Structure 1
Amino acid sequence: MSDTPVLEIQGLTGGYSLNRPVLHDVNFQVGTGEMIGLIGLNGAGKSTTMKHILGLMTPQKGDIRVKGKKREEDSETYHSALAFVPESPLLYEEMTVREHLEFTARAYGVSKEDFDERSGKLSALFRMEDKMDSLSIHLSKGMKQKVMIMCAFVARPSLYIIDEPFLGLDPLGIRSLLDFMVELKAGGASILLSSHILSTIENYCDRFIVMHQGIIIAHGTLQQIAEQAGKPGAPLEELFYTLVQGRV
C-alpha cells in the first residue's frame, strides 16, 4: 500500500451557510486499495462530505487532497483521479446506454480497446446486454442506476465515491456490484462507500467512518468500532445503534 493516501481530508468544516456549518473538523484518509464505509443517519453529513470531495462545495476550513493534490492546485489531476456514483441516477434521456458509456470513456481518455473489453464485461455483469442501445428514458429506475454504476466503472480512476448505490438494484445487481468492487479493490482502486444497508457492507469494507451531526464519532475496523462501542463481536448494525442512540 502506498504511503500517500489516495484521499486525505484534514480539518474539513463546511456546509451551505457560513453561520451554520454542516461539517465540523472532519479528518480521515482513504489508502490505496481500501474500501471505506461512510455511515450515519440522514443528515449526518455523509453526502455533504462527498460534495466537498467532488468540488461541488468549497470548504469553509480545512483541506481535501486526492493523490496528494488539492483541487485548486491541479484541477485536472484531481478530478481525473476520481469517479462518482450518485444516490439518484442522472442520465440524458435521448442517449442510449452505450452512448453514456462512450461519453464517459472519452472523458477519461479510455482507449477503444479498453472500452470494448470493459463495456462488454460490465453489460454482462449487470445483465444489460439487451439494453445497450435503448434510450435511458425507457429504462426502469434500477436499470438507470446500473448505467450510472457502469459509467463510473468503465473508467479506471484511483478513487470511487459511491453514494447509496444499492437503492433500486435487485438482489443480483447488488451482489454483482459488491463482487466487482472487491475486484477493483484487489486491483488497487480505492472506494469511499456510503450506505444505510449496514448488514450488506459489513463484510466488504476494510474500515468504517461513523458520522453524526457533522462530526466523526467513531472510525476504524469492525473490531475497532466494536471496542469504541463497548460491544466486542457485535454486528455493525448493533454497533451503529449503540454509538448514535444517545446522541439523536
Structure 2
Amino acid sequence: MESTEQTLILKTGRVKENDLWLKLFSPHRGVFTAFAFGGLRSRRRFCGCLDVFNHVLFTIRSPGNGKYLQLLEGSLINGYPNLRRDPSKLGAAVNCLQFFDAVHIGPEGAQTAFELMTNTLDAINGENQTPAMLPVFFRLKVLLQQGVFPQTTFCCRCNRPHDPAVQGVVQVHTGEGSIVCSDCANDGEKDVINLDPWTLDIIAAVAMSDPPAWSGLIVTEESARELDIIIDRFVGRHLGLNWKDGRFIAS
C-alpha cells in the first residue's frame, strides 16, 4: 500500500552504509519513523530532501507485514535555506523543533500542529531578524493548542470574571490551570504565580496570531521573565518535560 504525504523531518540517522531512518511528522499521522533505503546515494529519488527541517512530499510504502514504513521517493517543498546561513535563526529553529519533537503530538492534533511548525519555520527563515522571544512564543502557542495552558478570563474557584483594570496583578494556579482571584487565593500557595496584566495581553496576542506576527509584539523584561517562569511550570507539570543539557527531556 502506498500513500503520498507532506512531512517535516525531525531527526535522521544512518542504518547501514547507504540507508537512513527518519523521524517524521505529518498532518495525518503525527510523529512516525520510516526508512529511506539507499537514501545516502540516491540522486534521483531523494535529491536534496533528507535533511532535518526539510518540508518534503514523500511517497510512502507500508509493507504487508506492517513492520516498517519505507520512503520510496521525495520532493522538496521547502528547505528553509536561511536557517543554515544564520546561526541565530538556526538556534531558534532548533529550539522550537526540539520542543515540538518532545511534546509527542498524536494524529488528533497533528494538522494544527503541523501548520504551526511550518509557519514558525517560515517566519524564522524570513529576511527579518528573528525575535529572541520567538521560541518562548512557540512553546506558549503549543501549550495553548494542546489545551494545557490556563484560561485567564475568570477565577477557577468562584467563577468571577477577571477585570485587569480593577484587579491589577493576576495570580495563576499552575495545578488548577486557571487564574485565582485575590479573594480565593491562599497566602503562600506554592503553585501560584503572579502575572502582570501586560503579560496577559502578550498571552492573548500569541493565542490569536500566527508566528509571522510575533515580531511585532513588545515584551517588557518583567513580562519576559514571567512568561519564562509560567511556561516552564506548565511544560514541566502538564507535559512532563524539563530543559536539561541543551534539550527537553521527560521528567
| TM-score normalized with structure 1 length | 0.26
Greater C-alpha Rg: 2
Query: Which has the higher relative contact order, 1 or 2, with Cα contacts under 8 A spaced 6 or more apart?
Result: 1
| TM-score normalized with structure 2 length | 0.26
Structure with the largest fraction of strand:
2
